[in-house]
A and B are shown apart, each in its own frame.
Chain A
Amino acid sequence: MSWTAIIVLASGAYLFKLSGLFIGNRLGDGVVRRGVELIPPALFCALIALQTFADGTELVLDARVVGLLVAVVATLRRVPFLGVIILAMIATALTRVVAG
């Protein structure tokens, strides 16, 4: 990957972030603002689903599902933040050992 490609990507990624911060202040209080407020819950839930069930352009069911379930149960049981992450990692790793 050339330096040019890295600089182009870095500039583009930064401009997305910066322009969002400034455009967001001009949205008013209408339906667009209310839509933007729903973006994080929507995208985070989609990210969780993708990181658990997607492998490239394929849908798969593997050890990550166990990690997700453990994370959900731990969160509902009010396990502290770091604990949720560690438990999910251990559960996923162990599932891989057991499943070979």
Chain B
Amino acid sequence: MTELRRNSIALGIAVGLIGVPFGVLAATAGLSAPKAIAMSMLVFTGASQFAAVGVIDSGGSPLSAVGSAMLLAARNGLYGMRLSTLLRRAGWRRVPGAQFVIDESTAMSLAQEGEAQQYEAFWWTGAAVFVSWNLGTFLGVLLGDIVGDPEVYGLDAAFPASFVALLGPLVPDVPARVAAIVAAAIALVAVPFTPAGLPILLAAFAVVPGLLARRRTDEIALGVDEASP
């Protein structure tokens, strides 16, 4: 098996492990097994699912649960825009395939070199995460409290670690690095002042300094910039 496929499956398994605590939380929040599994299959965007079930679990209304989950789901639309040219060749398969447009498939895809590999990584990671996330949810609902606190196993480190491992190829130049660093700063500054879900959307504004940096590097490349003596 190629490294690309191995990595896609590895990421799928890591996400599946996070599906277990989602299933547990869904059960404690009072969701039936069919509802929890329907969420994982149909909503299929982990952060939104955790947010929705978390709001319900802490006694919030279904409306605020859906609202904060929608905020977190919005970024998948931005990923879709980025992946649109790559996935054009998929034709009608984009209609079911859109369900796979999530953090993990986008990251694994864009971390590859060459369009063929990016295309393959999108489908493999999307499918691996889909299968694994739903299996994990099912296990979590079944096992419930037997699993215990996922933090004991360091499970909460799996997601950020996998993104650290994939980030390198995504920040090849100065503009991408500027956007990345500013985005992290915006998100962290926003955390205490905004409801969950908003910091990540506000972070998208970091593309503005990224674009300014892009224009600057382009100007230097074109020799428009007046070099100091």
Contact = CB atoms under 8 A, between A and B. Distances in A.
A40 B107 contact: yes
A interface residue count range (under 10 / 10 to 19 / 20 to 34 / 35 or more): 35 or more
Interface in B154-208: 154-168, 170-171, 175-177, 179-188, 191-196, 199-200, 203-204, 206-208
Contacts of A25: 84-85, 88
A40 B106 contact: yes
Contacts of A18: 80, 94-95, 98
Chain A CB count within 10 A is highest, among B29, B35, B43, B192, for B43
A44 B158 contact: no
Contacts, number: 297
A50 B80 contact: no
Contacts of A40: 79, 82, 106-107, 110, 170
Contacts of B81: 20-21, 23-24, 27, 36, 39
A20 B162 contact: no
Interface of A: 1-3, 5-10, 12-14, 16-25, 27, 31, 34-54, 56-59, 63-64, 67-68, 70-72, 74-75, 81-82, 84-85, 87-94, 96
Given A38-B214, A39-B204, A64-B160, 12 more contacts: A17-B101, A20-B84, A27-B81, A43-B203, A44-B180, A46-B203, A47-B163, A75-B164, A81-B7, A81-B10, A89-B161, A93-B153
